[in-house]
Structure 1
Amino acid sequence: MITDLDGRFTLSNVPNNGTISISFIGYKDQEISVAGKTNFQVTLQEDNAMLDEVVVVGYGVQKKSDVTGALTRVGSKELNAKPVSNAFEALQGKAAGVDITSSQRPGSVGSIRIRGNRSLNASNTPLYVVDGVPLSAGGIETLNPRDIESIDILKDASSTAIYGSRGANGVVLVTTKRGKVGQFALNYSGTVTMETIEDKSPVMSASDYITWKRWAYYNNNPEVYAPGNAPTYENDQKIFAGDTYALKNVNKGWEGNSWDGSKVSNTDWTGIVTRTGITHEHTLSATGGSENLQGSFSFGYLNNKGTQKGQEYERFNLAATVDITPKPWIKIGASINMSFADQQYGVDRMAGTNNGPGDIYGLAKSIPRYAVPYDDEGNVIATPHTESRTYTVVDEWKKVNDDRENYRALASFYAQLDFGKMWKPLEGLSYKFAFGPDFRYNRNGIFRDSSSASLAGSTNYASWGSNRYFSWTLDNMILYNRQFGKHNIGVTLLQTASKNNHESGSMSASDILVPEMLWNNMGIVDVTQSRYKAGMGTGLTESQMASYMARINYSFNDRYLLTVSGRYDGSSVLAAGNKWDFFPSAALGWRINQEEFMQDITWIDNLKLRIGVGTTGNS
């Protein structure tokens, strides 16, 4: 039960030897023995560990109780509460104001929106930062969720302004696990899950669809066709003409010279293309270290067989970190996260167009259930329905090979000097150097057999494409954190530079002479012949960015909070004379529970009055 605003509560039917458990967010749990008592006066104690929890705010950390911007943290425990394939799925339902849609296709991710869409035409994808390295290509789907220590999401303009134009859609800060001081530990975790598709919008039965189609013809031409509740055999021969075997199935309902829809066979087209999906993942990790050296290592494997035939995903992850403190005043460290993934994308669009359902399940749902898959001789019917551009899905997953490989290596290197430990008057002053390279390569090979519905009777087709991304970020930071009596001040000065390089290539051809070669030998196609269709292309995109940022955090008596920041961004992609822009922000905080007149109200948990303003880039 919940107490009233004054903290009063009444319980009934409590046994004399019972125990009352009292809990509230931000306070320590208490258990009180009844022992014949009828009145209780309970004083909850603050859980300071929760208030003092350190969260990542971008280019630094702060106590959770001192954060003035809108921030949500999801820890390792929440991320691994259920078996998931990627970090996006682990975040679902865990962060307020963050909407995440998932994809049923193994290896594909949905979308993430922080406080809704920010742009009508441009991207609404947030900026991802892993161990201080902003990602320029893709998100965090390549990371093993079990390698993640926490995810902090910056949501409002005052908190994202320190990332300038790139923070317009919010910022997702990912901190991976590192070694800790303590005895060497070897850990294994693994899960096996099974899943099936539960369709909330099932297709009409054969009988219902036949009635619906009759009414459609009647409403279009009531003078010729009888209404659906008064069908005639003669009209059905015209309405369902075009597929002999589908019409034969409809005519089963006319056996006995009167209509009985229950006699028509129902073809479960979606059942033909679905199966029970099985996913198993395994992670082996090792951590440990001394006061001067800590390290960690992990290896992960994921195999996801999708619920739709032809869709599979396999991923290998390797992560390692090291932190060294050779002298009390210097600390250096590095981390690297590598992954390799192979995705069998499965069937995509129908008839080689961008129209229609985007997967084989959607294609199967588009075929009415009165249509049948095979003729009397057991041959597959290519167009099992009278509607145009509706093709069979039988064995379609065997006729399309869409293989996508992805390689990624993300690293972070840093060195930090603590000047206060070198010379006492400089206490609180430090310098940090950080360098983060990000390499990503993906290859997409597609082969469609001439018998595939996606080609609609044309010749076979193959394509090959690759994308290589390389980016790096170089940060120089001066940090100052010091407390003077009731005054607490923190200063962050940043100079950063980054460069992105994207190289792409593609080729395609039709009428591949040796289908078994797939996309691996398109050179044998004689493109000089008019009946062959071939194409090729390459591309290169480069961009650079330089930025300067300053941030001041100030608190008085752990009660009044102020954060002021400004970032000056310059980008090579902008026009001359408009390459630089400034993004300021300011936020005020008032921790009401620290006021003397609130000390006796135990149900207030770190209540704040927060006012924040800031600017980010316009998408």
Structure 2
Amino acid sequence: MKRRILIYTIFWLSCFFGIQEGTAQLTFASVYRPQDGGSSQESATSIIGLLKKLELTYRTTFVYQKELLENKTFSGPVNENDKLEQILERVLTPANLRFRKLKGGGYTILPRKSPKNQPAETELLKTSINQLPEPETDKVLAMNTLASRVNMQSFSTTKPADILIKGKVTESEKGEPIPGASIVLKGATKGTNTDANGAYSIAVPNENAVLVFSFVGFEKQEITVGNRTQVNVALKNDLKELNEVVVVGFGTQKKINATGAISTIGTKELIQSPVANISNSLVGRLPGLFATQSGGEPGNDGSKIRIRGVGTFSGSTDPLTLVDGIQVDNYNNIDPNEIESVTILKDASSTAVYGIRGANGVLIITTKRGKVGPPKVSYTFNQGFNSFTDLRQMMNSGDYATHFNDAIKADAYVTGTVYVPKYTDQDIELYRNGQDPVFHPNVNWFDVMFKKVSKQSQHNVNISGGQNKVRYFVSAGYFSQEGLFKDTKDVVDAFSPQSLFQRYNLRSNFNFDVTSRLRMTLDLSSQTEARSGNNGSSTERVVGDIARASPLSTPGVVDGKVVNILTGSQNNPYASLLYPNLAGGLKRSYRNYLNGNFRLDYDLGSLIDGLSVHGNVAMQTYNDQQIVNTKTLITYLAVKLPDGTINYVPSTTEAQFGFNQTGTYNRRITAEAGIDYKRNFGAHNVTGLLLYNQQKTFDPSLAFLVPKGYQSFVGRATYDYKGRYLAEVNVGYNGTENFAPGKRFGFFPAYSLGWVASQEPFFPKAGFVTFLKVRGSYGEVGNDNIGGTRFLYRETSYSSVANIYYFGNVGSTYSGFAGIREGATGNPDVTWERAVKQNIGLELWMWKDKIKFTADVFNENRSDILATPQTISSIVGLSQPASNLGKMENKGYEGDITYTDKVGSLGYRISANFSFARNKVLFRDEVPNQYPYQNRTGQRLGQNFGLIAEGLYNTWEEVNASNRPVYSYQNNKVQPGDIKYKDYNGDGVINNFDAVPIGYSNLPEKTFGASIGLTFKGFDLSVLFQGVGNVSHYYTRFQRGTGYGQAPPEGSPNYMNESWTQERYDAGLPIQFPRFSVNSNPNGEGSSYWLADASYVRIKNAEIGYRLTEGLLKKLHISACRIYVNANNLYTWKHMYPGIDPENTATGDTNTEPYPLVRTINTGINLSF
């Protein structure tokens, strides 16, 4: 009785105070629940009896006036699996009743039409409460605390007891429990996680509650509770996440569990770039990947790939490259249509298993494989058109002759001679009007020697499919690319120098399930390359000759004859392009790569659950055959006769037709055997790997004909708890025959940890951040690729040297004679470089996984870098042996972010990546300079040095100023138009001691990429921007146009028209360059004046495509069709002079220039059957 009074008192007080505020809060501490065997008025056919049962079934509460429901009955069956409100509507309507849902939960029962004498709803509520039957202790259910409000228009009762939902979350494929899965009440922050057995329990307010089940790598599921208290869920794999191939050394890992620094790109992005090789397709797409394309020559246009910059100043900086787990030397010959993914491993945790080969990072290419299903045939064709991205515009002969005279005039001060112009006004006019094309030629050699457009084409057809026992992928491809030299065989009787590259690709990947436990893999592939072109000079030399040829030196070809107009040395690009010496001709090269890989995997799960073994053998062969046909190029000297006619006199005589054939070959065999272990112990997941790998390369060119070999013992163990706490240990014990016994093997361990904070119970389950992982690694790796010399622990054999011994009297007549001398002494302590790497990374997914962000900070310290000592005097008389002396550090950061979303039919994806890597030489055995700032130790690798330019001298007053430093160059002969240098050391003299570090290194420190992708119905559009920063390059002699002192004269770019002259200075015209000069002058010294900012931003790729509709595809009887147009190297923003590509720059003042980069416009079609 006391308990009942307390209940009613609390309820009434709640209503009273709530009404005073305009709302009433009321809570039941208990609610009356009669037994099924109650009074007759609460029989199975009465509405009151039904409501009691519904309260129990649906965990809710009904408030009503007892008199209102007395003698009210219903007829017909009631399905308690229906929704509650459907039942109430069906039962109450015939009885002229209605219901109202209370805000805090529960329902009140009211008359459908209130008569005038019927009390108001609030009074009904009060009456119903007063007339509640007296509860019996064993018929009372506990309720929650005060929660509901009531006012004059509406009221509510207490929130009913929450429904306790229990269940289990498993994988859909194997039925294994998923520990740490997230269960969140939709629309609220309330949530929980599954335990080690995948079990969970969560309280929900009512049967309309929706639970959201999720786990990283699985598709989300939303389930309405309904009338259930047990909800079991089987989550399906999210193939987009799980099958995003994350390849690690000697295996694979789920990306969500990886603790190393790994980046991956798929085939879709690779084939967007219409290029001949993979390295160019990777540019701008992966954080941590630095790529530089140094030339555009067909078949020789691959990019130089570096992972996280450069960490050594000796030997190779190339990453280790693997195709399907097997090391390859050339990966640019693989058809992009064969590739499934490309992965780069960047930190020690990822590369330690490769030991002495992993210091420069690892690039892993995974090819496509067949999947269970009917045969699927795909055909790809594209036709491209190439043109140069940029070419320098050269001076015409009239301007050239005028400026040559300006140079002679300016040099009169230096030489002390009277100015006499080389070219008369009549000569200049003839150069301009073209009336004497033989002796007054005006030739733009870039236009004459290069054509505007060349063609390239690509075909690929592949078929894939399989059944449970056999799966296959078979591909055949063809690629052809022409160069941009003009075909001269129709101009002169000679071989065509045109560069032509062709490649044929074949690949077959087979997977066999021999038994339920035995699997077999057989991969076969071949790449055949055919090249043809000039043999007499390298392509770089030919381009250099074209760049330095003056427009007036020779008319080129006249009436099918290669004509010179000057005796002696000539710079005739035709002669250079065709056959500059007797060693000219047509060179055809045929290269063939044949690769095979056989692997067996056997599941030992019947003995030990999760245990398996594997073994594989791979062989690669390489063969190169070169055929050279030669004949002498006949050149002619033009001679003008007294009557004005021109006679062409042969300068060379025809030689016998020549033929030569050479060939090289090698082969490599790789063998591997390993034990794999993978097991789940509740919430504990462990994997393990023990592996032995051996490799031998047989090549006749190797020193002493000794095969080159490696041996590796590899171990790896990973552990994770509920996908929340991650740990990994990788160990490589590797050896090579290249070092002395006792120094051949090294131990390289690496450790990494990860924490998936988003799997913690305290992490918000419905927050903005959906995935958060922090990871770190520390380890050691090595590098034995320390140069071409082998067996440095052995002394070098003696050698015969000409003029090594001299006999006679010094100061008078004496002669040198050949003799024998000892080579370098051996160093038994020489070994590989060792790199200690550290990495901290963050992975973040936000906004329903629409935003994905990754960031890494890394540091590397490289020691034992191989170098020849420089501080030992040469008076010792021996070549010094190589020693492990050098030290470097390389550190930086990188990151990438992707945003993916869809609005109606419009889908879009925006991504960006950025990398920064700065190195520093910590120690280099060098002779200390007089001024420490000139030492290379302490500087970046490739740091540019030079004088600091402070503008130009413009007046004689500046030149003759008393405080002007004395120039040690050209006897201090300085005049207006010369470069003003800074006296850095303050000694009053400008000399080499004033050269300091200027600009940046010639290796970029920053690289970045950004892409935008759009899809709308059948259309798609993508654009990739790529660029580099913090990089400087010196202009070459030809690029800065200072070659007037050469004999014969050399050409100058058109932009040199803005060089300093007194007239331009007086007129206030723009001046970009110092004065012209024929003789030696101080302006050619290396200085900041000629150091260019080589940073750039490029539209690397742009593509638009359209997929045919389903209806049209059915009519055509094909499964898919996409047509597209794309472009590569479309446009570049830069700082360098016009006509100079900042990525395609030469170094030094050589006679060569790289083949210019090309822009490709491509059209294509993809068909699937």
* TM class by smaller structure: 0.7 to 0.9
Q: Quick one: distance in 2 between partners of 1:486 and 1:26?
A: 16
Q: Who is 2:737 aligned against?
A: 572
**Deviates most, 597-606 or 119-128:** 597-606
Residue 359 (structure 1) shift: 4.8
Indicate conservation of the 8 Å contact 2:245/2:341, yes or no. no
Please list the CA deviations of residues 65-94 of structure 1 after superposition, one character each: whole Å capped at 9, or x if unmatched: 111111111111111113221212222222
Q: Quick one: distance in 2 between partners of 1:221 and 1:448?
A: 47
- Picking from 462, 472, 485, the partner of 1:308 is 485
Please list the CA deviations of residues 422-459 of structure 1 after superposition, one character each: whole Å capped at 9, or x if unmatched: 34xx1211001111111111123344543289xx9797
- Picking from 286, 291, 299, the partner of 1:107 is 299
Q: Who is 1:363 aligned against?
A: 545
- Picking from 322, 331, 342, the partner of 1:129 is 322
Distance 1:325 1:207, change over 3 A: same
Structure 2 letter corresponding to 1:117: V
Q: Quick one: distance in 2 between partners of 1:379 and 1:222?
A: 42
Q: Who is 2:690 aligned against?
A: 493
Q: Quick one: distance in 2 between partners of 1:545 and 1:377?
A: 61
Residue 189 (structure 1) shift: 0.7
Q: Quick one: distance in 1 between partners of 2:287 and 2:402?
A: 46
Indicate conservation of the 8 Å contact 1:308/1:361, yes or no. no
Residue 203 (structure 1) shift: 3.2
Q: Quick one: distance in 1 between partners of 2:725 and 2:398?
A: 70
Q: Quick one: distance in 2 between partners of 1:198 and 1:545?
A: 43
Alignment of 1:469 onto 2:671: no
Q: Who is 1:342 aligned against?
A: 530
SS in 2 for 1:73: strand
Indicate conservation of the 8 Å contact 2:521/2:600, yes or no. yes
> 1:14-25 to 2 correspondence within 5 Å?
none
Task: Between the two structures, name the one with larger relative contact order (CA 8 Å, sep ≥ 6).
Answer: 1
Residue 374 (structure 1) shift: 4.0
SS in 2 for 1:124: coil
> 1:101-250 to 2 correspondence within 5 Å?
101-102=292-293, 103-108=295-300, 109-135=302-328, 138-199=329-390, 201-222=392-413, 234-237=420-423, 250=428
Indicate conservation of the 8 Å contact 2:719/2:726, yes or no. yes
Distance 1:539 1:194, change over 3 A: farther
Alignment of 1:413 onto 2:598: yes
Residue 223 (structure 1) shift: 6.4
Q: Quick one: distance in 1 between partners of 2:526 and 2:634?
A: 36
Residue 249 (structure 1) shift: 5.9
- Any stretches of 5+ residues in structure 2 without a counterpart? 1-215, 221-235, 434-439, 487-497, 636-650, 787-1169
SS in 2 for 1:615: strand
Task: Pick the structure with greater CA Rg.
Answer: 2
Residue 392 (structure 1) shift: 2.7
Distance 1:555 1:574, change over 3 A: same
Q: Quick one: distance in 1 between partners of 2:593 and 2:422?
A: 58
Please list the CA deviations of residues 254-295 of structure 1 after superposition, one character each: whole Å capped at 9, or x if unmatched: 99xxxxxxxx86412112222221011111111111011111
- Picking from 268, 276, 297, the partner of 2:474 is 297
Distance 1:177 1:121, change over 3 A: same
Q: Who is 1:252 aligned against?
A: 430
SS in 2 for 1:222: helix
Indicate conservation of the 8 Å contact 2:499/2:534, yes or no. yes
Distance 1:211 1:607, change over 3 A: farther
Residue 141 (structure 1) shift: 1.6
> 1:415-494 to 2 correspondence within 5 Å?
415-420=600-605, 422-423=606-607, 426-451=608-633, 464-494=661-691
Structure 2 letter corresponding to 1:588: L
Indicate conservation of the 8 Å contact 2:401/2:423, yes or no. no
Indicate conservation of the 8 Å contact 1:218/1:226, yes or no. no
Indicate conservation of the 8 Å contact 2:537/2:577, yes or no. no
Report the number of matched residues: 513
Structure 1 letter corresponding to 2:306: R
Q: Who is 1:38 aligned against?
A: none
Distance 1:204 1:185, change over 3 A: same
Distance 1:75 1:567, change over 3 A: same
Q: Who is 1:272 aligned against?
A: 448
Please list the CA deviations of residues 562-617 of structure 1 after superposition, one character each: whole Å capped at 9, or x if unmatched: 11111111211111221111111111222233334443575436433222112221
- Provide the identity percentage: 27
- Any stretches of 5+ residues in structure 1 without a counterpart? 1-24, 30-45, 239-246, 256-263, 351-356, 506-537
Please list the CA deviations of residues 335-356 of structure 1 after superposition, one character each: whole Å capped at 9, or x if unmatched: 0111211112436747xxxxxx
Indicate conservation of the 8 Å contact 1:568/1:581, yes or no. yes
Indicate conservation of the 8 Å contact 1:273/1:394, yes or no. no
Q: Quick one: distance in 2 between partners of 1:375 and 1:185?
A: 55
Indicate conservation of the 8 Å contact 1:154/1:172, yes or no. yes
Q: Quick one: distance in 1 between partners of 2:522 and 2:682?
A: 36
Q: Quick one: distance in 1 between partners of 2:615 and 2:361?
A: 25
SS in 2 for 1:165: helix
Q: Who is 2:585 aligned against?
A: 400
Indicate conservation of the 8 Å contact 2:463/2:475, yes or no. yes
Q: Who is 1:390 aligned against?
A: 571
TM-score by length of 2: 0.41
> 1:58-69 to 2 correspondence within 5 Å?
58-69=249-260
Q: Quick one: distance in 2 between partners of 1:415 and 1:452?
A: 63
Q: Quick one: distance in 1 between partners of 2:374 and 2:218?
A: 32
Distance 1:600 1:362, change over 3 A: farther
Residue 158 (structure 1) shift: 2.4
Q: Quick one: distance in 2 between partners of 1:436 and 1:83?
A: 31
Q: Who is 1:261 aligned against?
A: none
Residue 304 (structure 1) shift: 0.9
**Deviates most, 433-442 or 459-468:** 459-468
Structure 1 letter corresponding to 2:736: S
Residue 202 (structure 1) shift: 3.6
Alignment of 1:96 onto 2:287: yes
Indicate conservation of the 8 Å contact 2:259/2:727, yes or no. yes
Q: Quick one: distance in 2 between partners of 1:404 and 1:374?
A: 29
Please list the CA deviations of residues 529-551 of structure 1 after superposition, one character each: whole Å capped at 9, or x if unmatched: xxxxxxxxx98451222111101
Q: Quick one: distance in 1 between partners of 2:304 and 2:711?
A: 29
Q: Quick one: distance in 1 between partners of 2:276 and 2:358?
A: 26
SS in 2 for 1:327: coil
Q: Who is 2:970 aligned against?
A: none
TM-score by length of 1: 0.75
